Structure 1
Amino acid sequence: MAKLVVGGGRVEVVLSQAERLAALRGDVSAALDEIADVQVSPHPFGELRGIRAPGTGVPGVIALGTWRHRGGKDFVAIYRRRPAVVVLLAAGCEFERLIVGVEDPDQTVAAIRAATGLVIGGA
């Protein structure tokens, strides 16, 4: 399962070897100062927008890879029945959002907020 790791001035989506194959790319990261907001999504499949290109997806079961939409693209690593963390990135970044299913989303959000100085409810 993917992990969101905060350190070295960045937040990084660390993928397992199998996830890298399914997503058709390696790990993804963003500088902490590029993070505009972060929140928990209890139903992350509702966050998906656009089409998968490239990546792997089975509706409601798994979504791994890049989702392209009119406004840009999101990086997604989510699984059935697992909440996710949604990281909204600043304009000009490779992705608009990182949507990642994690073991403890509340703790992950708190760690990212502490590292970035974001307050609950936005920047």
Structure 2
Amino acid sequence: MAELACTDTHLTVRLTGARRAFGRWRPLVVPLAAITAVRADPEAARAFPGLRWGKATNLPGVVNTGSFRRGGSRDFWDVAKPEHAIVIELEGARYDRLILEVDDPERAVAELRARSAV
């Protein structure tokens, strides 16, 4: 699961538990200005993530965590329960999308929309 923390200028994503070992152990920091859209999207989280790029784990139906490439886009995934997934669209950042599992998708989407002015 991903923990999200916002400052006035940046979003910080930290993975929790064993997912840190299989996906990313350092926090991922993204400028809030790079966020172009945020939505809760269980269907996007059920899709095939693409080819692994760097450190990533893809166990279909179990967990997708790490960096993936598909159709020319670079995505970061951390999803085990698609019903708790949000999608963060980015522009001008290392990744094109962040697909993340969070505790409360509606609250996370509302907070990110308010902070990033999307």
Q: TM-score range by the shorter chain?
A: 0.7 to 0.9
2:95 is matched by which residue type in structure 1? F
Q: Distance in 2 between the 1:97 and 1:71 partners?
A: 12
TM-score, normalised with respect to structure 2: 0.87
**Which stretches of structure 1, 4 residues or more, deviate above 6 A after TM superposition?**
none
Identity %: 31
Gaps of 5+ in 1: 119-123
Q: Report the CA distance between 1:24 and its aligned residue.
A: 4.6
Give the distance between the partners of 2:82 and 2:88, measured in 1 at CA: 19
Q: CA offsets, 1:3-35, max 9 Å, x none?
A: 122224111111125222111552212101010
Let me know the Cα RMSD of the aligned residues: 1.7
Q: 1:49 to 1:18 in 2, by over 3 A?
A: closer
**Structure 2 residue identity aligned to 1:11:** L
Amino acid at match of 2:3: K
* Unaligned runs of at least 5 residues, structure 2: none
2:102 corresponding residue in structure 1: 102
User: In 1, are the aligned partners of 2:42 and 2:83 still within 8 Å (CA)?
Assistant: yes
Aligned to 2:89: 88
